Amino acid sequence: MIKKTLNKMTNTQIAILLALFVLLVLILTQPQIGLTWDEPAYFAASESYANWFGELFTRPGKAFSQPMIDAYWSINHEHPPLDKIWSGLVWKLSKGVFDDLMAHRLGNMLLVAVLVGMVYTLIAENYNRRTGLLASAILLSLPRFFFHAHLAALDVPAAFMIFLVVFTFWRTKDRPAWQHTILLGIVWGLAVATKINAVFVMPTLLLWVLLFQREKFLLIRLVVSGFVAFIVFVAVWPWLFPQIGARLWEYILWITVNHWEIGQYYLGRFTMPPPWHFPFVIAFAVIPTAVLAFFGVGIARIIKRKEKRGFGVLLLFNSLVPLLALAIGQSMVYDNERLFMPAFIFTAALAAVGVDWGVLGVQDWLRAKGRSSLAVPAAILLAALVLLPQMISAAPLYPHLLSYYSGSVGGLRGANRLGLETTYWCETYTEALGYINENAQPEDVVWVDPWSHDVMVYYQRQGDLRSDVQIAVPFPTESIFGPFMPLVEANYQHSDIIVVQYRQTSTVSGGAAWPILTWLEKRTPVVSVRHQGIPLIEVYQN
């Protein structure tokens, strides 16, 4: 029945159904996904950017004045604006229907839904529908990707835009018309205006062209699209407008030499920057074992089968470049796997290619043995082999999927033995809210990771945390949400309730353990959330 129904549908119709299904799944699972460290800044920026458009429609003359642009666009101008514009506009349209957190996240969840449909389309067109469906399913089954798919952060939107550039390039690579060059430039410009790591996609495409399709119009296309992309990048970022040269230079300095450093706990010690092998080890540790195995099979298939080699190598290049960019670059910003989300998409696609090759091989073998009736069960079994293990192992951990590690490293317990980080990004803080709300005295001070107070402030702003408790900060500062949110200067020793997420990067810095670790050894937590015996978050009462 399912096969007959699919046969009657076009690839576009199937992609739309997939997108709608994914959106429904993300909406239903979003309430369990805790707020992450970066999101409050993006919430504030997206609200401000969206409000500027209100000024643009009501007072267009003043909207482009420097005071107005500075007032609305200065917040979080460290990053390009496109996804925050998109998220802010979706937030404005949906906040009357959904709660604030869902409304802020909905824009990116829509992008993920479209992404899954596009992955199906591209893979189905170049292999078959079974492979396209597998690629979409594998991508969604990756626990870390599934977690990030809910967030109002920049990493998955950047991955979406990078995939869109590759999708556009592949769809138009045999069409010399100039409008396809303009289109590619526009898409690449929008990608870079989402996050700067999209700059790497075009050199990747250039390498592919030099290896597989050295046609003059394609080489010209890549060059011209770069100029178009630059124009688009500037055009969608109003913060640049008052002083384009000076502010563009400020941004370039920020992403190259002036960015604040975010180190990484890796292999049992604090590193800044981590060694070159860091992204490969983390990818190995967080991508499910069966997916990696079939990713290898997919590589073997593209090497052996010439007819699809060009497309397969395009997938392979784009699965490796995000890792290579970190391995050979001089980035000073690290947070485990979130910086190479694009690799997950192309890895899932190649894994699906590998599974499909396995299915074809097994079915041919069964037919040769006169057991054709087992062909469909064999295909289902192979699909289950690549999809179910991570879903089964992630289920008891859910929703704390930033602590997911594959069987390749022995799960979370094995990862901890290797010296990999237990969790990060504060998503576990939801586990502390119930205790604080029930047990805190009026005006009690709550200490959290010194750089993550805005996560708790947001919960307080939305009514999930009592308004009479105070959030500790290590030095005088103001919440990104404004001066009306109660903050108090205090450390953990002088706070009433202490919330500790087991992000070793925070507790081990520069090779020296924080004093709080000794302080914790003498106390018993009042709340402890563990997986495989490893604490993810604990709450202490002073």
**pLDDT tens string 40-86:** 999 999 999 999 999 999 998 899 999 999 999 999 999 999 999 99
The pLDDT of residue 313: 97
Average pLDDT over residues 150-175: 97
> Has residue 25 got a pLDDT over 70?
yes
Edge to edge, the sheet with strand 470-473 lists: 487-489, 470-473, 445-447, 497-501, 534-541, 527-531
What distance in Å separates the CA atoms of residue 421 and residue 506, rounded to the nearest whole number? 10
Q: What is the largest CA-CA distance in the chain?
A: 78
Report CA-CA distances (Å) from 268 to 142, 144, 271, 530. Answer: 25, 21, 9, 20
528 pLDDT tier (thresholds 50, 70, 90) = very high
Tell me the per-residue pLDDT of 208-261, one tens digit each, with 9 for 90 and over.
999 999 999 999 999 999 999 999 999 999 999 999 999 999 999 888 877 777
Q: How far does CA 308 lie from the centroid of its chain?
A: 29
168 vs 162: CA distance, rounded Å? 10
Helix or strand holding residue 104 (H, E): helix 100-126
Q: What does the pLDDT read at residue 341?
A: 96
**What does the chain come to in residues?**
542
**DSSP label at residue 262:** B
Q: What is the pLDDT of residue 426?
A: 93
Whether the Cβ atoms of residue 220 and residue 173 lie closer than 8 Å to each other: no
| The most confident of 225-239, 262-276, 474-488, 508-522, by mean pLDDT | 225-239
What local confidence, expressed as pLDDT, does residue 264 receive?
A: 87
The reported pLDDT for the residue numbered 242 is: 95
pTM for the predicted model, two decimal places: 0.95
In the structure, what pLDDT confidence band is assigned to residue 484 with cuts at 50, 70 and 90?
low
The pLDDT > 90 percentage for the chain reads: 78
Contacts (Cβ under 8 Å, ≥6 apart) of 106 = 27, 90, 91, 94, 98
- Which pLDDT value is given to residue 505? 84
Residue 352: the pLDDT is 98
In the predicted model, what is the mean pLDDT of the chain? Answer: 93
If you ran DSSP here, which 8-state letter would residue 274 be given? P
Ramachandran angles phi, psi of 266, nearest 5°: -150, 125
10 exposure class (CB count in 10 Å sphere: 0-12, 13-18, 19+)? exposed
Span 358-376, average pLDDT? 86
